Amino acid sequence: MLLSILMPVYNEEARVEQAITEVLETELPVDFELIIVNDGSTDRTREILHSRDWGANVRLYEHVINQGKGAAVRTALGYASGEMSAIFDADLEYDPSDLAVLLPPLLEGRANACFGVRAFDGYSSHSFLFVMGNRGVTLACNIIFNVYVRDIMTCHKMIRTELFRSLPLREPGFAIEPEITARLVQRRERIYEVPVHYRARATEEGKKLTAFDGVRVLRTLLRCRFTPTA
């Protein structure tokens, strides 16, 4: 079994090197490849990515201009050769060792998708409004699709690659996260959820989500609800 780890990167000069290193040093029960997509970064990210040989299991691709996280994830997914694919952002908000926690439900055949659920403890949260916003859009998803998912916006998602590629995903930005959830639910896939470590960075540390993203998430959920899955 091979796991493809999809890493979208945009303006992460302060963290990308450490993020890649931590992923490569992670012990997993399966072999893995790391597919990095530099999404038109304008800082030193590109220079850092090309500054060294990361190894045979790392592949690097480029977007000439910034297209958004969703576009970068889809590009990486297109090059995935593993039976399973997982999104892992380069911002170090998540712990790469938790990829091992997401694997068992897929390896044991209990589910085709597994999400890492964040606890949002006080020391790990971005702000009260950030947490309430996340809970609000998750509640909206559960009502719109009559399901119960605990964290639709988690960036720790692992899905069988064939299924992942079959989803009609088109969101270019952060709204790809709820879009993935909505499309899986519409396919009647059971989403297995497990707790993972999380520490949100502050806005001054490079946090990119804003209140406008919450509006985009709701728009995406409603669009998916009233459009076919294929």
Tens-digit pLDDT string for the chain (230 aa):
899 999 999 999 999 999 999 999 999 999 999 999 999 999 999 999 999 999 999 999 999 999 999 999 999 999 999 999 999 999 888 999 999 999 999 999 999 999 999 876 655 555 677 777 878 999 999 999 999 999 999 989 999 999 999 999 999 999 999 999 999 999 999 999 999 988 875 555 545 556 667 788 999 999 999 987 65
- Which two three-digit tokens encode residue 211? 């209140």
Q: Which residues of 19-38 are buried (b: 16+ CB within 10 A; e: fewer)?
A: bbeebeebeeeeebbbbbbb
